[in-house]
Structure 1
Amino acid sequence: MRDILPALYEWYAAGSPFGLATVVAVDRSAPRDPGAAMAVGPGDEIVGSVSGGCVEGAVFELAREVIASGEARLETFGYSDEDAFAVGLTCGGEITLLVRRVSAADDPAFAAVAESVAAGRPVTLATVLDGPAPRGATLAVRPDETPAGSGTPGSAASTGPDGAPGSAGPDGAAPAPPGPTDPDAGAVGSLGSGGLDAAVAADARGELAQGATGRRHYGPHGERREDAVTVFLHSFAPPPRMLVFGAIDYASAVARIGAFLGYRVTVCDARPAFATPERFPAGVEVVVDWPHHYLSGTTTDARTVICVLTHDPKFDVPLLEEALRRPAAYIGAMGSRRTHDDRLERLRAAGVPEHELSRLRSPVGLDLGARTPEEVAVSVAAEIIALRWGGSGLPLTAGGGAIHPR
């Protein structure tokens, strides 16, 4: 949903209700992952996709119905569903969608999510799917310590006899549903119960750093040993970083494809004549600094991609010493096999142990026979994607079984 949020927020800010369909579950070889979204707005304008074209026509009609009625719908489309087969879900899998109406009048959580994503701050949108809670109710959870489920920031949730936050009290009466939380607090909106809000907010914060998205089950008031209420947690962690070192012609192509894949891209080079913003796509940060100095002063995490394109020992060796000792999803270095062998010897001489050297992907990229900078960028991106998802890098025709195993 991240890619369509700007359009959705324009409708929201203008006071125009829209129908939002979100993939909340998939089975077998479904075409889109949980979190994929499609919306129908003013004038029947459509943005986004939930199936790559298989069921969009049916979802369009559902969204129009939901806009008119205001009642959220949970629908499953799959090969075994005759209605879904009629609209063309031919991939052999199933997708479950929540379709709900969104408007500024009744969904403060949406604004909190859109504003957090636009500012690059992590946030999770929790939405009730099923059970004894209002379907389609939402809670936006930010990573701070303010307890959710209360109109007063900092107020504590009640605790029931079973230890669940907000459970029914000794007289058996459920606590009254809270109003929307303060927009400046850690949570905005409500799922209908203070206890449910508190339990969901705690889980959302615990998994936000990993960008976890999926269904969770609770009791009506947040009891963790029950599964009466199904809640969909959609995490929006800030985009992962791609750090490209060496402002050569290949760097521009790698930066472009990195931005296309959703990375926040930084290009760094010690040579001011090469490290100029005009040589790189709009939105790419360009830094003039010695690569290892810059890397030592910046933040990386387990999602960060590091591409070393300098293939010059005076840059490569100190940079890779630093890179191989810090968290990163991918560390690739450009160069011939001879350059790679020389680089390894220099790194060993610098004291880098073998278990750290084993993280280095060099020569960088998959063997696609690439020649041009753009083709090389595709091979680098292919290797990053394969490593992220455990792909073999082989042609799909060479394998068997499900293309997207679950």
Structure 2
Amino acid sequence: MWPKAIREEEIMREIRGDVSRWFEAGHAVALAQVTKTWGSSPRAAGSVMAVSDGGGIAGSVSGGCIEGSVVKTALDCLEGSRSASLERFHASTARAQEVGLSCGGNVEVLVSRLDRSLFEVERAELDADRAYVRVSMVEGAGNGSDADGVGACFLLVSPDASAASECVGLRAREASGLPAWRIVAPREVEERLSAAALASAAGKVADAPSASEAGLVRTDAGTFFYARTNPQPVLVCVGSVHISIHLTRMAKMLGYRTVVIDPRGAFATKERFPFVDELVHAWPQEAFRTLRLNESTALCALTHDPKIDVPALAAALDSPAFYIGSLGRFTTQLSRYRQLARLGYDDAAVARVFGPIGLDLKGRSPAEIALSIMAEITAVRRGGSFPSSTMLASARRAEKEL
């Protein structure tokens, strides 16, 4: 099962537009992937940078200190002097000092030509907001043709990834033992690596720890790097209140798709929320008939109106949403708890709701409250250990104090 968490920056989403334009203009493109880091390296494994043969650059693999060297390697790959290269930058080496890696970190970057057909499948998966995995060979085992497969890249995609069968030059096959995934690889990759080698790498990736979003696996054929891409995170704000304006703006900066639900059309307007992806003028009971909440969803009930907040909380509890938050002090949480209990939700369910919503940053203004909420959402998403309040604990406290 793939993890619920999503990488710090879904860089492929950010660079797909540039890469698409370069391919459409007839350019060749190389992809640089951070495959391993130690110490205080500036970017996490899974970060990527694309380079076109026309000198275009999108994304990054560091804070700027090794980009120049990686771009040169990428251009060498595109010019044909080498098809792929694993670049190592260790802070203690003279080369790292030459390129400016002086922060004490260590970085390994795989640079290889990006197959256009494979990228089209990846772009289709991003557009469809489906989970997929990119797998690349970083080192061969040294036994025959497999040793020549460095840079070979394939995808693990869902069975309904129709683009996989539409692109010329690709082969899609069922992944034996992995019924939820198909292996999609360029034909030249299958010529360099055997079908057994691809299947073995796919199986190792599937067996990797669920908390691992990017990493390395070793097979008889060699070492492979994988990077998982999950559906884009979504923030649903129930209530077009002042806090929601700041909260959705912050969420957009962090890569979330944003939705505001409010039956009160006078408040949920484009003038107040010009940057929100979707404004829904409906009661929660109606809105959630078509709006699906999944494992990448955070929902915040912010109206203080139980006619709106309680149905929204109930819909969230019926879903696998990774975060559910309720605005209001302890007495409000007690009231919401009792209403949810009357609807049939037990204590274990209500304990999923964070309330009072947000980390206790002592902020008072709408923007500061929004910051505390976004901080709590981030902590939950990343597995942070900051103290938070749940609706259940707040209700128990309110019962004792009343």
Given the two structures, how large is their TM-score scaled by the length of structure 1? Answer: 0.76
Partner of 1:401: none
Q: Indicate if the aligned counterparts of 1:124 and 1:208 stay in contact, CA closer than 8 A.
A: no
* Identity level (%): 35
Partner of 2:55: 44
Any residues of structure 2 matched to 1:181-220 within 5 Å, and which? 187-189=184-186, 190-191=189-190, 192=192, 193-201=194-202, 212-220=213-221
2:5 is the alignment partner of 1:4: no
- The one-letter code matched in structure 1 to 2:76 is E
Could you say if the C-alpha distance between residues 120 and 318 of structure 1 is closer, same or farther in structure 2, counting changes exceeding 3 Å? closer
More helix by share: 2
Any residues of structure 2 matched to 1:25-40 within 5 Å, and which? 25-40=36-51
SS of residue in 2 equivalent to 1:302 = coil
Number of residue-to-residue matches in the alignment: 358
SS of residue in 1 equivalent to 2:288 = helix
Could you say if the C-alpha distance between residues 388 and 237 of structure 1 is closer, same or farther in structure 2, counting changes exceeding 3 Å? closer
Select 1:116's aligned residue among 90, 109, 125.
125
SS of residue in 2 equivalent to 1:386 = helix
2:139 is the alignment partner of 1:139: no
Any residues of structure 2 matched to 1:285-304 within 5 Å, and which? 285-295=278-288, 297-304=290-297
How far 1:57 moved relative to its partner? 2.9
2:321 is the alignment partner of 1:328: yes
Partner of 1:22: 33
Deviations 1:193-220 (Å, cap 9, x if unpaired)?
2222334455667889989432222223
- The one-letter code matched in structure 2 to 1:57 is G
Once residues 295 and 152 of structure 2 are traced to their aligned partners in structure 1, the CA distance between those partners, rounded to angstroms, is 32
Gaps of 5+ in 2: 1-10, 141-146, 388-402
Q: Indicate if the aligned counterparts of 1:113 and 1:124 stay in contact, CA closer than 8 A.
A: no
Partner of 2:85: 73
Q: Indicate if the aligned counterparts of 1:292 and 1:319 stay in contact, CA closer than 8 A.
A: yes
How far 1:117 moved relative to its partner? 1.5
Deviations 1:267-319 (Å, cap 9, x if unpaired)?
11122333334432445111122114433654333332111111111222232
Q: CA RMSD in A?
A: 3.4
SS of residue in 1 equivalent to 2:368 = helix
Select 1:53's aligned residue among 26, 45, 64.
64
Q: Indicate if the aligned counterparts of 1:70 and 1:101 stay in contact, CA closer than 8 A.
A: no
Once residues 113 and 207 of structure 1 are traced to their aligned partners in structure 2, the CA distance between those partners, rounded to angstroms, is 21
Select 1:237's aligned residue among 230, 233, 245.
230
Could you say if the C-alpha distance between residues 54 and 337 of structure 1 is closer, same or farther in structure 2, counting changes exceeding 3 Å? farther
Partner of 2:400: none
SS of residue in 2 equivalent to 1:262 = coil
SS of residue in 2 equivalent to 1:44 = coil
Once residues 93 and 155 of structure 1 are traced to their aligned partners in structure 2, the CA distance between those partners, rounded to angstroms, is 39
Could you say if the C-alpha distance between residues 28 and 300 of structure 1 is closer, same or farther in structure 2, counting changes exceeding 3 Å? farther
Deviations 1:251-277 (Å, cap 9, x if unpaired)?
222222222212222211122333334
Q: Indicate if the aligned counterparts of 1:124 and 1:140 stay in contact, CA closer than 8 A.
A: yes
Select 2:113's aligned residue among 98, 101, 107.
101
Could you say if the C-alpha distance between residues 237 and 209 of structure 1 is closer, same or farther in structure 2, counting changes exceeding 3 Å? farther
Q: Indicate if the aligned counterparts of 2:236 and 2:258 stay in contact, CA closer than 8 A.
A: yes
Once residues 309 and 346 of structure 1 are traced to their aligned partners in structure 2, the CA distance between those partners, rounded to angstroms, is 16
Once residues 263 and 204 of structure 1 are traced to their aligned partners in structure 2, the CA distance between those partners, rounded to angstroms, is 26
Once residues 56 and 375 of structure 1 are traced to their aligned partners in structure 2, the CA distance between those partners, rounded to angstroms, is 36
Once residues 296 and 313 of structure 1 are traced to their aligned partners in structure 2, the CA distance between those partners, rounded to angstroms, is 19
2:392 is the alignment partner of 1:377: no
Q: Indicate if the aligned counterparts of 2:259 and 2:276 stay in contact, CA closer than 8 A.
A: no
Once residues 143 and 210 of structure 1 are traced to their aligned partners in structure 2, the CA distance between those partners, rounded to angstroms, is 20
SS of residue in 2 equivalent to 1:135 = coil
Once residues 154 and 335 of structure 1 are traced to their aligned partners in structure 2, the CA distance between those partners, rounded to angstroms, is 51
- The one-letter code matched in structure 1 to 2:152 is A
How far 1:341 moved relative to its partner? 3.4
Any residues of structure 2 matched to 1:300-379 within 5 Å, and which? 300-379=293-372
